[in-house]
Chains A and B, each alone.
Chain A
Amino acid sequence: MSTPTRPRPAPLAAELTFVGRGLRHSRRNPDALVLALALPVFVMVLFVHVFGTAIDTAGTRYVDYVVPGVILLCAGFGASSTAVGVCEDVLGGTVDRFRTLPVRSAAVLTGHVVASLCRNLVSTALVVGVALALGFRPDATPLEWAAAAGLVVLVVLALTWVSAAVGLVARSVEAASAFSFLVSFVPYVSSAFVPTDAMSPWLRWVADHQPATPVVDTLRGLLTGTAVGTAGWWAVAWSVGLLAAARVWAGWLFRRPPRA
Chain B
Amino acid sequence: MAAHSDPPAAIRVDGLRKAFGRRRVLDGVDLAVAPGTVHALLGANGAGKTTLVRILATLLRPDAGAAVVGGHDVVRDPQGVRRAIGVTGQHTSVDELLTGAENLRMMARLAGFDRRAARARADELLATFGLEDAAGRRAGTYSGGMRRRLDLAASLVAGPRILYLDEPTTGLDARSRLGLWQLVAELRDRGTTILLTTQILDEADRLADRVAVLGGGRVVAEGTPDELKRWVGAELLELAFASAADRAAAAEALAVAGARPPATAEPRVLQVPTDGSGDHVRHVLDRLAAHGVHAEHVTTRRPSLDDVFLVLTEPGGGRPAGDLAVAAP
Contacts and interface: CB of A to CB of B under 8 A. Distances in A.
Given A100-B59, A257-B61, A7 B89 contact: no
B159 interface: yes
B93 A96 contact: yes
B59 A99 contact: yes
Given A1-B186, A24-B98, A96-B59, A6 B111 contact: yes
A173 to B, nearest CB: 14
Interface stretch (A8-16, A62-70, A234-242, A244-252): A8-16
Interface in A51-99: 92-94, 96-99
A102 interface: yes
Nearest to A96: B59
A2 interface: yes
Contact of A21 (B89, B95, B112, B154): B95
Interface string A1-42: 111111111100110110011001100110000000000000
Given A9-B111, A102-B79, A97 B87 contact: yes
Contacts of A92: 91, 93
A101 B154 CA distance: 11
A100 B106 contact: no
B121 A14 contact: no
B110 A101 contact: yes
B121 A96 contact: no
A125 interface: no
A100 B102 contact: no
A17 B109 contact: yes
Between A16, A21, A94, A98, the greatest number of chain B beta carbons within 10 A of the residue's beta carbon is seen for A21
Interface residues of B, number: 40
A3 B102 contact: no
Nearest to B98: A24
A13 B105 CA distance: 13
A1 B110 contact: no
Between B109, B110, B159, B186, the greatest number of chain A beta carbons within 10 A of the residue's beta carbon is seen for B110
Contacts of A257: 60-61
Contacts of B121: 4
B36 to A, nearest CB: 13
Contacts of A21: 95, 98, 106
A93 B57 contact: no
Given A1-B125, A99-B58, A260-B20, A93 B110 contact: no
A25 B159 contact: no
B82 interface: yes
User: Interface residues of A: mostly helix, strand, loop or mixed?
Assistant: loop
B93 A1 contact: no
Given A1-B156, A3-B159, A257-B61, A13 B110 contact: yes
Interface in B130-145: 138
A25 B103 CA distance: 12
B221 to A, nearest CB: 26
Contacts of B98: 21, 24
Contacts of B128: 1
B82 A101 contact: yes
Given A17-B109, A257-B60, A102 B159 contact: no
A2 B117 CA distance: 13
B83 A3 contact: no
A260 B89 CA distance: 15
A201 interface: no
Contacts of B125: 1
A93 B109 contact: no
A17 B60 contact: no
A4 B157 CA distance: 8
Contacts of B114: 7, 10
Given A21-B95, A93-B93, A100 B112 contact: no
B190 A102 contact: no
A258 interface: yes
Given A94-B93, A96-B59, A258-B60, A3 B109 contact: no
A2 B124 contact: yes
A103 interface: yes
Given A14-B110, A29-B97, A97-B154, 11 more contacts: A1-B187, A4-B117, A6-B83, A7-B111, A8-B112, A9-B112, A13-B109, A21-B95, A94-B93, A94-B95, A102-B79
29 contacts: A1-B124, A1-B125, A1-B156, A1-B187, A1-B190, A3-B159, A4-B158, A5-B159, A6-B111, A7-B111, A8-B112, A9-B112, A10-B112, A13-B109, A21-B95, A21-B98, A21-B106, A28-B97, A28-B138, A93-B89, A94-B95, A99-B58, A100-B57, A100-B82, A100-B87, A101-B107, A101-B111, A258-B60, A259-B20
10 A-B pairs with least C-beta separation: A9-B112, A93-B93, A3-B159, A102-B82, A7-B112, A97-B93, A17-B109, A100-B87, A28-B97, A102-B83
Interface of A: 1-10, 13-14, 16-17, 20-21, 24-25, 28-29, 92-94, 96-103, 257-260
